Chain A
Amino acid sequence: MVMQLTAKQSIFLPRIAQIVRVDSLSDREKVFEFVFDDGKELGHKPGQFVEVSIFGVGEAPISVTSSPTHKGSFELAVRAAGSLTNHLHTLGKGAKVGIRGPFGNGFPLDTLKGQDLLFVAGGIGLFPLRSLINYVMDTRQDFGEVTTLFGCRSPQERIFLDQLDTWNSSKDMCFLETVDRVPDDSWKGNVGVITTLFPKINIDPKKTYAIVVGPPVMYRFVIAECLKKGLAEDHIIMSLERRMKCGVGKCGHCQINGVYCCQEGPVFTYAQVKSLKEAV
C-alpha cells in the first residue's frame, strides 16, 4: 500500500490562533474568542470540536461554543479541569495557541431543518449545545418550535447569563431552567433536577427532535423522559464526551466499543447509542 504523502500533511500539525477576548463565566469556566493568524475561518458545524495546543503543556479536545453563523472568529468555552484547560485559563488576550480541526460529525443540521427542537443542556453541556442553539436562533425561519431546558447544580454554576436572559425573554423560544439545589433563598426559579422540567413542556413528538448534552449521568434519566414524551429513538440526539486525543481516528482513546467517538461521533442518536454497551 503506497500513500503519497508529505510532512505538511502531518495529522499533528495545528494552525496558529490568537486569543482576542477572554470572559469569565463562573469560578471554573471562561470563554475564549480566537482568530486564526492566517485570517481564515474555522469552518465548523455546530457540535464539532477542535484540539487546542498549548506548546509545552499538550493538547485537549474542546467543543466549539460559537455558531458558524458568527464569522471572523470562534469561541471555546472551557472549564479548568485538566492540565491543558487549567493552563489555558492563565492565558489572556494576545496569547497564541495551536488549533487542529474541526473534528467529529457535528449535529445533523439537515435532519433538524424544519423540525421542532427540544434542547436539553446539563451544566457545561450548554457549551457545545450553545453553538447549535445560536445557529438555530440566527436562522430561526428554518426551524419549527424551539424549547430549551437548562439545568445546573446551583445558581452559582449558571453560565452565559446574558444569553440565558435573552432566551428567557425571547418569543422565538420556550426557555425553562432549574437548579438541583439552592444554598439560600436568592434563587426564585425552579429547583430540582432537569427531568422535573419535562412535565412543564408541551411538544409534538412526531415533529420534535431532542438534542441532549450533559454529564454522562444525566443521559439515562433525560432519555427516559424523552421516550415518555413519545419521541422516537432516532429523534433523541446526544453528544458524548470521550478522550479524543488525536481527533483523526488513530490513537484509540475515544473508542466506545468499536466506534471512534472522534469520527462517527461525538453526536449520536439514541437509536445508535442503544447498541453501544459502553456509551451511557
Chain B
Amino acid sequence: MQNRVISRQDLAGFVDDLIKTKSAGDVIGIKAQGNKFNFGPLKSATELRLDYDISLLPPKKYFFPQQETVLKYEVEPAFKVEPVVEERMLCIIGVHPFDIRALQLFDAVYGGNNPDPNYFLKRNNATIIGVDCLNPIPKSFAASMGTNTVEEGFDLMLTDLGGDWFVTVGSNRGDSMMKKYGKGREATNVDLEKRNKVRRDAAKKYKTSLKMKPDEIPALLDANWESPVFKERSATCFSCGSCVMVCPTCVCFDVQDDPALNLKGGERYRRWDACMLPGFAAVASGENFREHKEQRFRHRMYRKGKYLLERYKYLGCVGCGRCGTSCLADIALPADTYNLLKEGK
C-alpha cells in the first residue's frame, strides 16, 4: 500500500468519479447544514466541506440508523414474520479520526457472540474515507484522548497540506481505489513529514483536555463511586438525552412495534435509546434500577470511561465534544467530570 499526494482538483475529480460511477456505492459526504455541518448524500465534490469542525450527528447513523425496521409481521390472514435487513453499499467521505475510532467500538459491540446482520450488512460494504480534523470545536478533547489521529479503521485518510492533499492508504480497498484513479503521485518522506507536522499543529488547537492519561480513567472511577461530583454535576441535568443522541459511541436502542392501520400486520423497529432518560432501566413491576438522575449520570460516566473498555477493549469516549456542545446544562462532557474527580473535587 502506497500513500499518495494529490492536488485539490484531482481530489475533487476522484470524488466526482465516485459519485458518477457509484463504484463504491452511494456517496455520502460532509456538507454544510446552515452554519453547521452534517453527513448527507453528495451530489458533487463542490458540496464537500472537508474543513469542517464537527458533524451534528456522527456517521454511525449509516450503519445504526436513528430508526430502522427489523421485522415485518402479519397476523392475518396467515401468521407470518420476516426479518428486514437493509443491505447497502456506501462510501462515506470526511470522517474524522475520533469518529473512526467510535466505529471500531461499534464493530466490537455489534459483533461478538451475537453478530447483528442489520449492522454488518451495511458496515461490511462501507468505504471509509477519513479526513484529519484541523479545526476542532472548543469542547473537543480528542488530542488528549489520543483519538485525534488513527492508524486503522479507514480505507483512505486525507490530510490537508495547504495546497495538495496527503492520502494515507489504510486498506487494500483504498489502495486499489487510488491506483484505479491514477492521478497524483507517490508520497515521499518529505510529504509524510509535512503530513505529520499538520497533525501536530492541529493537536495544539484543542482547547479542552483530559488532565490525565486516558488509561487512568478506569482506576479513577473505581476510586470514586461515592464521589459527590456525580450528584453535583447532575443537579442541573434535564434528563433530555441530548448527550446520548449526538454521541458517536452510544450503542443502545429500544424496540417497538408499529401496527398497520388495518391491524393485520405491521413492523417492528429499533431506534436509538438513551441511558440518561428516566425510564431506561425501569421494569414493569415498577422498579427502576437507575431512578435518580445522578445514578444515570454516573452510569454514563462509568460506561464511557470503564465499562465499555473492559468489555470491548475500546474506551466509550473518543473526546469528540459533541455531548458537551449539545448539553443545555453544560454538564455532559466526560473530560470535565473526570478532571474534577482527578482534582479531588
Residues of A109-154 whose CB lies within 8 A of B? none
| Interface-located stretch among A66-74, A187-195, A227-235, A251-259 | A251-259
CA–CA, A14 and B268, complex, Å: 12
B252 touches A253 (CB 8 A): yes
Which A residues have a C-beta under 8 Å from some C-beta of B?
Answer: 1-14, 16, 53, 55-60, 79, 81-82, 84-85, 96, 98, 215-216, 241-243, 245-246, 248-253, 255-258, 263, 277-278
A81 touches B302 (CB 8 A): no
Answer whether residue B228 sits at the interface, using C-beta atoms and an 8 A cutoff: no
Output the residue of B84, B110, B115, B225 with the most chain A CB within 10 A. Answer: B115
Q: Are B289 and A242 in contact (CB under 8 A)?
A: yes
User: Do residues B259 and A251 form an inter-chain contact, with CB atoms below 8 A?
Assistant: no
Kindly state the separation between the CA atoms of A166 and B59 in the bound complex, as whole angstroms: 60
Chain B residues closer than 8 Å to A57, beta-carbon distance: 257
Min Cβ gap A255→B in Å is 7
If over half of A's interface residues share one DSSP class (helix, strand or loop), that class is named, otherwise mixed; here it is: loop
B residues in contact with A251, CB < 8 Å: 252-255, 270, 273
> Please, which residue of chain B has its CB at the minimum distance from the CB of A217?
B287
Residues of B within 8 A of A98 (CB): 73, 81
Please give the distance in Å from A88's CB to the nearest CB on chain B.
12
- Whether B110 pairs with A13 at a CB distance below 8 angstroms is no
- Give chain A residues whose Cβ lies under 8 Å from the Cβ of B118: 10-12
Partner of B75, one of A12, A55, A241, A252: A55
Task: Give the distance in Å from the alpha carbon of A187 to the alpha carbon of B188 in the complex.
Answer: 90
Shortest distance between the CB of A216 and any CB in chain B (Å): 6
CB < 8 Å neighbour of A2 from B70, B75, B124: B124
Which of chain B's residues have a CB closer than 8 A to the CB of A241? 283, 285, 287
Additional A-B contact list (20), CB under 8 Å, known A249-B112, A250-B116: A3-B111, A3-B115, A8-B83, A9-B115, A55-B259, A56-B75, A56-B257, A56-B263, A59-B268, A60-B284, A79-B285, A215-B287, A216-B287, A241-B285, A243-B282, A248-B113, A251-B270, A252-B251, A258-B302, A258-B311
A43 and B88 CA atoms in complex are apart in Å by: 35
- Chain A positions within 8 Å of B308 at CB level: 258
Could you tell me how many residues of chain B have their Cβ less than 8 Å away from some Cβ of chain A? Answer: 59
Looking across the interface, which residue of chain A has its beta carbon closest to that of B218?
A258
Quick one: which of B266, B295, B303 contacts A55, CB cutoff 8 A? B266
Alpha-carbon gap, A6 to B265, bound state (A) = 23
Closest CB pairs A-B (n = 6): A82-B284, A252-B252, A258-B307, A10-B83, A248-B114, A7-B85
- The docked-state distance in angstroms from the alpha carbon of A1 to that of B109 is 12
Q: Across the interface, do A81 and B255 meet the contact criterion of CB distance under 8 Å?
A: no
Residues of chain A lying within 8 A (CB to CB) of residue B303? 255, 258
With A55-B81, A251-B252 known as contacts, the answer to whether A5 contacts B117 (CB < 8 A) is yes
Collect the chain A residues with CB atoms within 8 Å of residue B85's CB: 6-7, 10
